[in-house]
Copies of this chain bind each other. A is one copy, B any other.
Amino acid sequence: MKRNTWQREAVKSALDTQDAFVSAQQLHSALRDDGTGIGLATVYRALADLAESGQADSLQSTEGEALYRACTPGQHHHHLICRNCGLTVEIEADAVEQWARKVAAENGFTQPEHVVDVFGLCADCSKPAP
């Protein structure tokens, strides 16, 4: 049976305070800075569990790192992500959902899934340097 530990709680609430996708290592540093003596492996495990149970979304950065973000559970959605600061906004798109199903079916593919992410520079990061 799954047990409740302060480590899992700590990872979950640390993730909740982030408005950007973060790596396991970043989160581990943040937790250490908060004075908790949590282990790195534990952070990796907790994040994997959260992703598994749908409480967090994950994506692979172009550098190959796995990044995590707390997300609205039980609701299919995608993300609009700032390339500079990581700020992330959840987006929905029924049109894209339907398109994905349609294009799969048209090509004889079954059990379609999809990866849809939009990257850009957020309003703040779009401002020219002073």
Contacts and interface: CB of A to CB of B under 8 A. Distances in A.
Given A114-B117, A118-B103, A95 B93 contact: no
A85 B100 CA distance: 19
Interface of A: 60, 62, 64, 66, 80, 82-83, 89, 91, 93, 95-96, 99-100, 103-104, 107-123, 126
Contact of A114 (B95, B110, B119): B119
A86 B91 CA distance: 28
Nearest to A126: B110
Given A64-B60, A107-B80, A115 B115 contact: yes
Nearest to A100: B118
A115 B117 CA distance: 5
A91 B103 contact: yes
A109 B95 contact: no
Given A104-B80, A126-B108, A116 B115 contact: yes
Given A60-B60, A66-B64, A118 B108 contact: no
Contacts of A89: 107
